Amino acid sequence: MAASRTGPNMTQIAKAVGVSSATVSNALSGKGRVSPELVEKIRAKAAELGYVPSSAGRALRTGRSNVLGLVLPDISNPLFPQIAQAMESAASDAGYGVLIADSRGDVTTQTQAIARLIERGVDGLVVIPRRGTRIGSVSCPVAMVDTPSTPGNTVSADHWEGGAQLARHLLDLGHRKFLFVGHDRASNVQNDRIGGMKSALGNDVSHETIWIEPMLRRQGDDASLGLLGHVTSGVTAIAAVSDLHALRVLTELQTAGIKVPEQVSVTGFDDLVFAPVVTPSLTTVHMDMTRIAQIAIAALTKEIEGPRTTTVTNTGEIDTPEIDHKNGATVQQTVKADTSKVSMKLMVRASSGPAASPDTQARMEKLYNGD
């Protein structure tokens, strides 16, 4: 039950062409000194035989697998498809494969998942941490994607500024009484988003925040959020920290007979796949995952291909100046080494509209309640 390799290897090509295997290696990689004609001949023979380099052999020799690990907090997160797609694409462009690991929302599992990836020999990790978990020291470069306010973050969307944009949009529409809907107090992302929204509000604006997760835990998964009460007391804008929760809000309001956006505006975050297809389509804030992924991958590959070989062995300089000439291929943008944030994009759709005046509101309410 030995190695079940199918195709030919370098030695076979070498024999077929009549040269040494080193020459084949040099010809195919373009590294050593090989005459142009020979390069062409070797290329042709390799193609003819359907040669596929053995990643195992290469990995063993070079010490690099050209595979990155993607550690996800909870794959069932609806934002995950976007993340995975963007990361896979960026990694693929940079010549890397992506090995996934799901931490199922659990910190212990996350640690195990990371360990498994390391054992598989990944060259680096992209970690989207569970609720701002710190990652213990690992033996390979790590890029964290969380929020700018998380220590150790490498790159992320500027959730705060995205929140501010959204709030300004709602302010412009005349809204002065806000309800923020969060899921989980411990989430850095959610706190940033709500913080950003609050920061844009003036003194004449009132706001309140409710958290879904504790409500569900107390009252069961199908608990009502009691939005009707808030609407009756004058709230005209409900901003959820995710489209998923915005959807919950939207349908709860619609079932209660409240018109969106005529009576209440509803907004979300993330621009999930369903945001444009619901009625009314959801005003939300879009993350440029493609760019985030590019930056994360670029930061990682730079560190992998750069000088600092292992963990923290060398104490001295941290600067890595002379390595930007070789990767003129994929990501052109400058990549801030330390931590960078990518701005979000407001997507104005149909679920946000002018604030109803208190009069209008009272009238409509009467219409619906008193039949």
Binding residue (CB under 8 A) for a copy of itself from 244, 297, 335, 344: 244
Contacts with DNA, residue ranges (CB under 7 A): 1-3, 5, 9-11, 18-23, 25-26, 28-29, 31-35, 37-38, 51, 53-54, 56-58, 60-63
User: Which entry of a copy of itself, DNA, none binds 309, CB below 5 to 8 A by partner kind?
Assistant: a copy of itself
Nearer to a copy of itself, 101 or 200 (CB): 101
For tokens 């619906």, name the residue: 368
Nearer to a copy of itself, 36 or 277 (CB): 277
- The distance of closest approach from Cβ of residue 77 to a copy of itself in the complex, given in angstroms and rounded to an integer, is 7
Farthest-apart Cα atoms in the chain, separation: 94
Identity (one letter) of the amino acid at 237?
A: A
d(CA 125, CA 34): 36
Binding residue (CB under 8 A) for a copy of itself from 37, 172, 222, 359: 222
Cα dihedral 190, 83, 124, 132, rounded to 10, equals: 10
- Check binding of 28 to a copy of itself (CB under 8 A): no
246 within 8 A of 307, measured Cβ to Cβ: no
Count the Cβ atoms, other than its own, within 10 Å of residue 149.
16
For tokens 């290897």, name the residue: 9
Nearer to a copy of itself, 203 or 277 (CB): 277
99 within 8 A of 117, measured Cβ to Cβ: yes
Phi-psi region of 249 (alpha: psi -120 to 50; beta: other; left: phi over 0): alpha
Nearer to a copy of itself, 84 or 135 (CB): 84
Binding mask 40-69 for a copy of itself (x = CB under 8 A): ------------xxxxxx-xxxxxxxxx--
Binding mask 129-158 for a copy of itself (x = CB under 8 A): ----------x-------------------
- Check binding of 97 to a copy of itself (CB under 8 A): yes
Q: Where are the alpha helices (DSSP H) in 306-357?
A: none
